[in-house]
Copies of this chain bind each other. A is one copy, B any other.
Amino acid sequence: MGRIIVEVMPKPEILDPQGKAVGSALPRLGITSFTAVRQGKCFHLSVDGPVTEELLADARRAAEEVLSNPIIEDVVRVEALPEEGAAK
């Protein structure tokens, strides 16, 4: 059984209140190394058998049509997850 990961992030020009909230929580914990935080979504799509090019194409279509809102979000990654992840 393979898995495909799809990563969706808010477009750079879109405000990201969740990311901002996380970014302001970190210094309160003494973590001051990060200049900005953006929060996005990721999806793990399970498939029977190995991940083929055809399945990746399906995943890309799903990413554009269902998993992301193209007005405010970018699909930044669609790729097969290594098998060790799939065994989890």
Contacts and interface: CB of A to CB of B under 8 A. Distances in A.
A26 to B, nearest CB: 6
Interface in A21-75: 22, 25-26, 29, 31, 33-48, 54-55, 58-59, 61-62, 65-67
Nearest to A76: B85
Contact of A34 (B39, B40, B47): B47
A41 B44 contact: no
B62 A26 contact: yes
Contact of A46 (B35, B39, B40, B45): B35
Given A22-B66, A85-B76, A37 B33 contact: no
13 contacts: A1-B35, A12-B88, A19-B43, A29-B61, A33-B58, A34-B46, A34-B59, A34-B62, A35-B46, A37-B43, A38-B46, A40-B42, A41-B42
